[in-house]
Structure 1
């Protein structure tokens, strides 16, 4: 706010008008909060206004005390401002603040995301009857919670007395009781909704706690209206708290089911909303049943909770972090289960990896030739990218179905498995040693994968080129295409950047694979395939169950392979549409293309520097493909588990010690190190 636009206390006192329209009174309240939040002294305080005040007391608290002291010395200002506060509060719906503020109006993650975008982008208006909307405009400072917590009890009670007057306490209690009933109704509706009810622990639902919640709140309201003794009210409140605790425990049990059977962001969001409403009811009960209706500690706790709720709904990043953190963990856990199959721990597994990778390299050799043939067809940019992506996707799926492997798909899957080994590194030397072992296993598995891929992709492509020369007198991939390969793969060009970009796509395919498998499990599609009457009628019971097992075992790999293939083809095409010169550089495909160029131009190419520059680019492409995808997957796995690598020094020291003592373990399994 510009200095010329600031209001000092004198201006505020003179502008206070209880008879002004509601929107002008609301604007006055906003200016009052802006004055309170001003940093440092705006004008010298009158002697005696702040006796023995600590320098650590926040300035908003000092100004609030100063205001109350000034009003005590000037009855005319005290009466006018008190009337303005009471008139404004009387015209506002308090349940909009106590029961609705900070909660999503609709039970869904996407709708809440849209609502938060609206709150972040569109300005609010003080022309409202909803106290919640006005509260958002009043308390919009980042430090509001800190200075509210610093208000002492006496100051808070003095200000509440100014707001309530002689009859305000009765209206306050009525609003609190009404808000408790509204919150109880909202919790019952959320808890009895199908997706929530079906996933709660049956033993916790046996007493029908959500059915009891509203009657318990209504019974407390009746006790308060009838003016029964304090002991009876406390007993009824204790019963409501007990029912509320059971409801919250039942809602928490939903997460256990999600961990076992898949995650829905909407269900997780509804659980969090239900728990937050339970917290709000507890805070309102504390205020309602305190020795004085406006007891300062309980009221201060409620105000701070309301301000925090408002700040929480302003944060889009916090929404993603809170709800997608759980989904990211489940996705990475499912990737970790898949990644275990890509890690070799003994010589038998190592040899098997070489064979599987060699088979994958042979398929990629055929894929390389098909890619060049598709390029001969004059297609638009999008359709050229689409069919290139389909070529990759079909090849990757064939590799999967034949139980072979492509090395570059391994890191994004193995990173979560490595991250799981970090959970106990801080507490145990044995865990640290296990982690180093796992890194060595992973590194040599990647080496075996790349060696196997490259060992067969080159001879397969050269064999096809040689067969074409022998049968047709011309290679499948001609000289012009070969020259383009030499130009595009040259190490001095953008090859390094495109290789890193390809690593990002490899990582993205692993996330898609985990998400698709989670979706498959959450919707119980394996059970539907196995037991759906129509499927059984068409396939037969035995075959239907076999198909269910097959899909459950292969859905992650299919999703990874299809998504990766399509992204490798379509994403560069989309980039071209937007003027972004994006291309992919996949180590096995690039080696196949270089072999095709050699088959087209002959052995004379070996005397050209460009060939050796392209050959030098191959290991760089491999390192970036593997390194970028592994790093991204590893970071997500750490974040999803809430892990922070505090002992980096210990980990690096242990890895260096292993390199010095047993460097060969990073390349081949030692004879005396069989799989555990």
Structure 2
């Protein structure tokens, strides 16, 4: 099958003789462009007689033009063969040269040099739409945009790789055969036009309010963006006068102005904490930086005494741009990294409140967790009430979400805690400890100490929640038996609990899913707080005339501070509550039997079932299987949410895979040698002596 496909493809690719005979500079524009596309297809394709090994990019060594013996990619070997043929047949070389001139003079070169690789409106959304268009819709060779034609010509996945391996001698041969004075003059004019276009775009983006207001005042004092367009115009005037010495001086001045512009754009990131993060702002900063780098590259070509030596680098970069623009992963990975960082940093601020480091803090966490367990007892019975009301799947999930969200918010406002909310918020706090730190043994030991603090805190939270929720639920059940003679839930509901929570069912899978929801709630919390800051809602609450008139000045100020302090926690609690309620309901719509398993709620439900069935339940295996699932449910709730949040936090700080492996290895070693430090705080409040690690 593979051999048949290769033979079919080889029939589609023209041979070199046919290509050279078809080179007609008088042909129509799409036919000329098609000829270039076919030429590159011929360069990439190996002849049918080649074996699979010979088809690989670096199949066999070949003497380079410089005399060294190096493995050469197949397109490079074919390019050298093409040059040999053209040098032996000047008439073919002239036809190819005339065709190339017709292509370049018939297209907008500035569209390649000044616009290719950049979003037309400096918007993340517009660039995303453009990439989706490139992926989903075919391009046409009938275009006067050299950037679009470049994408059709250099569409191969490895084009940038083999272009980068072309040696200087081959580039000089290519330039000598195909570039004459007329073509060189045309390219020089395009260079000057492109520099002016790019300078105008940098000036417009840099002076836009979204960036200007976020830049350092000290950097803006020099007015770096104001003179860019005039400097680029002056460059063109000096080139027209033929004054090479003053042209070089003007180019150096323009480079200095571009450096000041990049410094001003870089200062935007220092103000994102106060102003909030917008993905469009991040995208515009990156686009501005890349445009200044393109101008620098074009200035190098303009002032170089040997431009054929500097052109290859730009061609390779443009080919790299073709490859990167055809994927969405690089766009999201690059431009969302800073947003992920700021979201996790905002979660880190909240997460610090969940980490205990001393015995006094540990006892305080136990007390707060006991309060949370007390409130969750009422949440457990409200869940049974909602289930008994016979709502449809969606409305049952909605009111369950209201129950959970209301409980979580009340626990937050009372200063109590729910253990399972800790890890997703504390993982970013720990990753923040690694920011800007050299990962030596001391830094890793400090980080491991933080992990032990966190795990002890989570242990305290779970113990506090569970030791209160179960007795309170049993007490309420006993009170109902004493007053009304019947329990708060019937035997059918109690049996249903034993059937659902058993270790033999999908409980552990549902517990892991609940950990994912806990992680998502922390992301939502960071995102909402970032949006709160980005849109300056705290300032609006404090100073908006209508709000001040409604609340009064002093109360508006208090409300502003209150919302700024609590917005992250409220967003996390409300989003988590509704996800716990609605995700199972929405899954039913798709026929998926999905449920959630929250360790505190599961413990409360099991205690309620015991209160209904009485001591006889202790003689049933079903009860003990449910009880055995409780610690595993808690472990999965905590572990999944922590691992996901921690991985995102590490990635947002650029911690490499090898460094992450060192951290995990140090954690395992601490666990083997000092397991007690993960459960009970030492008397001095530290994690214990440092453990040597590799």
2:421 is equivalent to residue 409 of structure 1: yes
Q: Partners in 1 of 2:672 and 2:19 — Cα distance?
A: 74
Residues 528 and 568 in structure 2, CA contact (< 8 A), matched pair in contact too: yes
Q: Residues 100 and 536 from structure 1, CA distance in 2 versus in 1: closer, same or farther, beyond 3 angstroms?
A: same
Q: Partners in 1 of 2:572 and 2:261 — Cα distance?
A: 39
2:254 is equivalent to residue 273 of structure 1: no
1:7 to 14, 28, 32: 14
Q: Partners in 1 of 2:318 and 2:459 — Cα distance?
A: 56
2:28 to 21, 26, 32: 21
1:302-313 matches, within 5 Å, as 302-313=314-325
Deviation per residue, 1:621-676 (Å, 9 max, x gap): 00100010011111111111111353677656655664566443222222233699
1:593 to 593, 605, 619: 605
Q: Partners in 2 of 1:580 and 1:96 — Cα distance?
A: 51
Deviation per residue, 1:438-467 (Å, 9 max, x gap): 222111111110111011111222233233
Partner of 2:209: 194
Partner of 1:324: 336
Partner of 1:511: 523
Which is worse superposed, 99-108 or 655-664? Answer: 655-664
Residues 49 and 66 in structure 1, CA contact (< 8 A), matched pair in contact too: no
Q: Residues 38 and 53 from structure 1, CA distance in 2 versus in 1: closer, same or farther, beyond 3 angstroms?
A: farther
> How far apart are residue 40 of structure 1 and its match?
7.8
Residues 214 and 275 in structure 2, CA contact (< 8 A), matched pair in contact too: no
> How far apart are residue 411 of structure 1 and its match?
0.6
Q: Partners in 2 of 1:321 and 1:432 — Cα distance?
A: 27
Which is worse superposed, 48-57 or 24-33? Answer: 48-57
Partner of 2:261: 247
Q: Partners in 2 of 1:332 and 1:555 — Cα distance?
A: 15
Partner of 2:490: 478
Q: Residues 614 and 217 from structure 1, CA distance in 2 versus in 1: closer, same or farther, beyond 3 angstroms?
A: same
Q: Partners in 2 of 1:225 and 1:425 — Cα distance?
A: 53
2:509 to 497, 508, 513: 497
Q: Partners in 2 of 1:201 and 1:73 — Cα distance?
A: 61
1:430 to 442, 447, 450: 442
> How far apart are residue 334 of structure 1 and its match?
1.5
Q: TM-score, normalised by structure 2?
A: 0.92
Which is worse superposed, 495-504 or 122-131? Answer: 122-131
> How far apart are residue 97 of structure 1 and its match?
0.5
Partner of 2:650: 638
Residues 426 and 647 in structure 1, CA contact (< 8 A), matched pair in contact too: no
2:437 is equivalent to residue 456 of structure 1: no
Gapped runs of 5+ residues in structure 2?
1-5, 55-61, 689-694
Deviation per residue, 1:88-110 (Å, 9 max, x gap): 22211111111110111222212
RMSD over aligned Cα atoms: 2.4
2:114 is equivalent to residue 99 of structure 1: yes
Which is worse superposed, 110-119 or 487-496? Answer: 110-119
Which is worse superposed, 530-539 or 315-324? Answer: 530-539
Following superposition, which runs of at least 4 residues in structure 1 exceed 4 angstroms of deviation?
39-44, 47-53, 422-427, 647-662
Q: TM-score, normalised by structure 1?
A: 0.95
Q: Partners in 2 of 1:78 and 1:49 — Cα distance?
A: 22
2:69 is equivalent to residue 57 of structure 1: no
Counting matched residue pairs gives 671
2:389 is equivalent to residue 369 of structure 1: no
Gapped runs of 5+ residues in structure 1?
none
Residues 25 and 88 in structure 1, CA contact (< 8 A), matched pair in contact too: yes
Q: Residues 558 and 604 from structure 1, CA distance in 2 versus in 1: closer, same or farther, beyond 3 angstroms?
A: same
> How far apart are residue 16 of structure 1 and its match?
1.8
1:104-503 matches, within 5 Å, as 104-227=119-242, 229-292=243-306, 295-422=307-434, 427-503=439-515
Which is worse superposed, 531-540 or 447-456? Answer: 531-540
